[in-house]
A and B are shown apart, each in its own frame.
Chain A
Amino acid sequence: MITAFLLRGLDRRALVFLAVLAAVAVVVPLLNLATPAGSGLHIPSYAVTLLGKYLCYALLALSVDLIWGFCGILSLGHGAFFALGGYAMGMYLMRQIGTRGVYGNPVLPDFMVFLNWKTLPWYWHGFDQFWFAAVMVLLVPGLLAFVFGWFAFRSRVTGVYLSIITQAMTFALLLAFFRNDMGFGGNNGLTDFKDILGFPIQDEGTRAGLFVATAVALGLGYLIASCVVRSKLGRVLVAVRDAESRTRFLGYRVEMYKLFVFTLSACMAGVAGALYVPQIGIINPSEFAPANSIEVVIWVAVGGRGTLIGAIIGAILVNFGKTWFTGVLPELWLFALGGLFVAVTLLLPKGIVGTATALWRGRRWRGPAATGEGTLAESGGDAEPPAAAPAAGPAAPERAS
């Protein structure tokens, strides 16, 4: 039963993507570690970190596409789940600092000593253990999403209203995490990490390892999302997206389906945040900024909503553009992003992948079966986007912004 479920998720598009991702996960660290710094093939460490960051964003975008593209839940607060996963990882990394902090306190992180706290707050206990932090990375965003979804979906909050309360949620968390007495480092957040699982966090080897871990997480996330959307449950999700009350009158408890996919998606976003923090080296409340969550939606729209692969491509392309733009014309970036969103909405409403798929289909079957165009969540899924190798090649020479 489970095997059949997994096999259904592995169509050709998924296999091609996973193969490309695996190649990237091998080649990038190899070119970073095994080639001399002067060599033309060498990938510098900052670029590895930058690419790792893109892959984290890709996983976040994937989680948004899963709910928005396939179930019509437009979350404008997914940055919150990302940030919570990041904080859970950050708490582990803080506890690893031990006596190496400025104040040399073996238990309390520096900011607590600074605030004259004498004991570790209860919610910081356990975070010295990696496994505990890893569980929290899934549990905290998952639980918040579950509770939030329980109330929102059961009271049948949908559409714009749901989007607005997700914004309110991330904004409320932003304000809460800014407060020093919350015990998460206030507006400075958590930083100055030393090592992870005993490996120095600044080491080239550790960074390459984190990059590989991110690629693996993205691959797994894609596989899970792909299996879910190709299962019968995935078809129920699309049914909810297209005709919610029809689905109800067929006997499906729509709120349970939404709750399931929303929680799953929040867990994926949490993992993305957890992998992001050790590579970037800091987590602070600005990650909860409502604008961040909106940006994720733009990545998905650019890549192509309801295609999974499009979310990944969109996240990588837009962030690549952002890195380049903020290096050349930083003050214009927001306008460029806004312009891009408008342009995509008007010119490529199905996004890059959706449009490419439609073109590809049109060319292949100009025959009798070509009725109605449904790029979203088609069950055949044998068409491929033109080879858009994500994250291949060296990144633009800008620092991680």
Chain B
Amino acid sequence: MTLQVPAAVPLKAGDTLLYLDGVSVSFDGFKALNGLSFTVAEGEMRAIIGPNGAGKTTMMDVITGKTRPDVGEVYFGGTTDLTKLDEAAIASLGIGRKFQKPTVFESHTVWDNLDLALSGPRRVFPILFGRTDAEGRRRIEEILETIRLTHRRDALAAGLSHGQKQWLEIGMLLAQDPRLLLVDEPVAGMTDAETEETARLLREIACDHSVVVVEHDMTFVRDLGVHVTVLHEGSVLAEGSLDHVSADERVVEVYLGR
């Protein structure tokens, strides 16, 4: 017996972790995303590059439920339609996000920031009476080591340096223990040493998580050594290894050539 596979079987039936197909978003007629399609496999780390205004942040807004696409499909884990869910629900599914501008809870300590991010109950009453258990505290210690902030655990987040805030936010993503991490321009405004350290941190994270990282800094992307998707005017221009896309004339024209 042969199985007749209909031609229209979407790719989402396959083993993608993240699947975007024909996603468009417009703001007052301006198309920030224009038929954007790409997929990320489980366990993959992907870098997204593209000039300013290419729609990278908007793409993250769509995946995390902040912005609804006008048309197009967004699936997570092959079956979950993300366009039907809100931010909290999507976060609970296991998608964590680091903002372009570092966003941590300034009047909380480093420890409390991680504690709030720690995967666990999110409903009002369990949170009201709940308390972080020994296992949770152990995980926080571990993350503090990873992000090199153990010595600042009791400091208020407001007192951290810019780079430390970025790391704390990445640590908060780790504490969420998501299946997919979306990281928006993590090294913007960092010193070279901090940038290197961040690349190390992300590679470490990529060992056991799927990661999508948006970045401008080509040295940093080279450091990561992963597949690259080039975005331009809201759609994919090229995809492949960094050397492959750098050789693409259109990419050179819109982006690298500048």
Contacts and interface: CB of A to CB of B under 8 A. Distances in A.
Interface stretch (B23-31, B112-120, B197-205): B112-120
Contact of A253 (B122, B130, B132): B122
A374 B91 contact: no
B108 A235 contact: yes
Interface residues of B, number: 37
Interface stretch (B12-20, B51-59, B154-162): B154-162
A153 to B, nearest CB: 12
B234 interface: no
Interface in B54-105: 64, 66, 86-88, 91-92, 96-97, 99, 103-105
B15 to A, nearest CB: 25
Contact of B116 (A239, A248, A377): A239
B123 interface: yes
Please report whether the interface of chain A is mostly helix, strand, loop or mixed according to DSSP: helix
A374 B107 contact: yes
A369 B159 CA distance: 10
A377 B127 CA distance: 17
Nearest to A261: B124
Contacts of A238: 105, 107-108
Interface residues of A, number: 35
Given A243-B103, A374-B107, A248 B124 contact: no
Question: Which of A239, A256, A378 has the most chain B CB atoms inside 10 A of its CB?
Answer: A239
Given A231-B127, A235-B116, A246 B105 contact: yes
Given A232-B127, A246-B99, A249-B97, A239 B88 contact: no
Nearest to B117: A250
Interface string A237-253: 01100110111111111
Contacts of A371: 155-156, 159
Given A245-B87, A246-B99, A251-B122, A372 B156 contact: yes
A236 interface: yes
A28 interface: no
Interface in A360-401: 369, 371-372, 374, 376-379
9 shortest A-B CB distances, which residue pairs? A372-B159, A371-B159, A251-B91, A372-B156, A248-B87, A372-B158, A233-B128, A374-B107, A251-B92
21 contacts: A1-B129, A2-B129, A231-B127, A232-B116, A238-B108, A242-B105, A242-B106, A242-B108, A245-B66, A248-B87, A248-B91, A250-B116, A251-B88, A251-B92, A251-B176, A252-B122, A369-B154, A372-B155, A372-B158, A379-B108, A379-B109
